[in-house]
Copies of this chain bind each other. A is one copy, B any other.
């Protein structure tokens, strides 16, 4: 079993905003997190976008969908900005033979204090345990994207 990981940007991979360049999202950190955790499964990381999720267009989300559809892996993990993670997840519903888990973080993985590593841990367990479908792993929970929203004060996702 090999897990395919698509990275799309988001806070999880952010570096500080450097005035001398427009670049905000750096190299994906998920591979390094998995190596440091000494994981014993195989995985493949593919960076398909480097955007803050507030900047994702419908075309970008369609692009994510196409990458997932074209990929042969059953187990798919997507790191994504948390602001519009639900929108992307809703678009990935109903794909046969795919177990798709989206995760991200409120603090960059590069930070000393961060939720990134914990969230990736949750997502990795979730993508191996769940059946077909798309899910969001965040705040230590695993959610279906339907009737889900991000509470910007508590920085927690909640069902409604």
Q: Which residues of A contact B (CB under 8 A)?
A: 11, 14-17, 19-20, 24, 33-34, 36-41, 52, 54-55, 83, 106, 108, 110-115, 117-126, 128-130, 137, 139-142, 154-158
Inside 8 A of A24's CB, which chain B residues have their CB? Answer: 16-17
Decide if B157 touches A40 in the complex (CB within 8 Å): yes
Decide if A41 touches B141 in the complex (CB within 8 Å): yes
Decide if B14 touches A16 in the complex (CB within 8 Å): yes
Inside 8 A of A121's CB, which chain B residues have their CB? Answer: 117-125, 140
Please tell me which one of the listed residues B38, B112, B129 contacts residue A115 in the complex, with CB atoms under 8 A apart.
B38
Copy number in the complex reads 4
Q: Known A16-B14, A36-B113; judge A142-B128 contact (CB<8 A).
A: yes
| Docked complex Cα distance between A121 and B115 (Å) | 10
Please tell me which one of the listed residues B17, B112, B115 contacts residue A37 in the complex, with CB atoms under 8 A apart.
B115
**7 chain-A/chain-B pairs, Cβ below 8 angstroms:** A14-B16, A33-B118, A34-B140, A40-B154, A41-B141, A122-B125, A129-B142
Task: For residue A139, give the distance in angstroms from its CB to the closest CB of chain B.
Answer: 4
